[in-house]
Chains A and B, each alone.
Chain A
């Protein structure tokens, strides 16, 4: 499929592509070429915004395999989440198998949203697909490692949330004072390790 450009206002456009890998690649290429205010990958889209005249929107991501894939981040996890048992029940696995399945894969940051530094991680084991909670929690602690649908994520801040909690990490996912405020950026890779 060739990318489709959808209208998104008089200073924005939404480019729809085949899959997340294409979205991440295109976003990276557009960011490198410059000219846009924001370049925001989604699950299968890239949003671009600009001021004044629209910059050239080259939809060919080019050959940037030298800078791709992104850097690898190891996330040490204590698997004792409030929903771990229920995830095991829902997936018909035992808890040890849930942990084994979650730590076996290398994930990719598909996009970031919901809150600063909240990375939607793709590439997980299909057996671990679980629905969101019917009633979201009012408070999910920062560092919670969670599952929903095809995604894994780590909550960067304490916030409300409807994902299933399987564990926690001590890593600081977002710190506005750091040179790179978000630990995980689109295209980065993640490995969870059980501690």
Chain B
């Protein structure tokens, strides 16, 4: 169980978080998307061995969605940011 350094709560066990998924393509325009584009957004993932950006949710803590940069081969985490850009001193 890795440690995620939540930008709000500090270092916490990953068990407190929910893994949402790899950050991929942005949501296509629902009015204009072709089935291929939409299903690529739904299902296609790069599944990179190495540094990835992914989304986690701090379910047991601040309840913020987070953007995590993690190396999938070593589980090293180099940044954890609030996905909505929220910050204490804004």
Q: Indicate whether A and B interact.
A: no
